[in-house]
Copies of this chain bind each other. A is one copy, B any other.
Amino acid sequence: MTSKKVIELFYDVVSPYSWLGFEVMCRYRQVWNIELKLRPAFLGGIMHGSGNKPPGLVPKKFLYMAKDLNRLAGYFGVPLQTPSDPFEAMFNKGSLSAMRFVTAVQEREKDGDKQVEQVCRELWKRIWSDDKDITEPGSLSEAAMKAGLSDSEIKEALKLSTTKEIKDKLKRVTQEALDHGAFGFPLLVCHVNGKPEMFFGSDRFELMAHCIGEKWLGPQPGKSAAKL
């Protein structure tokens, strides 16, 4: 039994705005009376299922996004940098194997979510900070190693990530996000008085705080909370 408000965070490591939302929520679970549930899902499935198009396809929007992300990264204290070829990284290579791997890590982790949190952060760092691949097994292993997983844990997660069980789980979580009304990521679902309240993007935290009766203290509530 707990009086904590449950907040589900649906995200994909291919999405830079998801990274911002992820770091903010990881910080705020130390600040607000909430239980944060990490819900790794597949953005490609969300775009397909909702009929939405990536915002970067409109040239002026793409230019603005690069600028916006750069400014937000500084303000949020997240070391985000646009890769040299974002279209190649986001749309051609994509994140299916990465999100299956994350799902496998989460499936194997029984005690809390420290591993899945760290693995996701390292994957974001690869694609959205270091301009590195996140599709090859070697890339996933490297990220997981940096996240502190042992060789055997990584080997088992990689093996598990290609099973039907994990593929189906990722599909299920993605469908759940669609059922909540998702058309992009990050998606935050706050369970307030038994009713889900859905917030899209990384720019509704102040409003969300207001809705759940908490106080918004900016994206870096006490620098010590920002462990990156």
> Which residues of A approach B to under 8 Å, CB–CB?
50-53, 58-61, 63-64, 67-68, 71-72, 75, 178, 181-183, 198, 200-201, 203-204, 206-207, 210-211, 218
Contacts and interface: CB of A to CB of B under 8 A. Distances in A.
Contacts of A178: 60
Contacts of A52: 58, 60-61
B207 A71 contact: yes
A60 B204 contact: no
Given A75-B207, A203-B204, A183 B51 contact: no
B181 A63 contact: yes
A198 B70 CA distance: 13
B75 A210 contact: yes
Nearest to A57: B51
Contact of A203 (B50, B71, B198, B203): B203
Contacts of A72: 207
A192 to B, nearest CB: 12
Contacts of A210: 75
Which 10 pairs from chain A and chain B are nearest by CB?
Answer: A203-B203, A60-B183, A50-B60, A61-B183, A52-B58, A60-B181, A75-B207, A75-B210, A51-B58, A58-B183
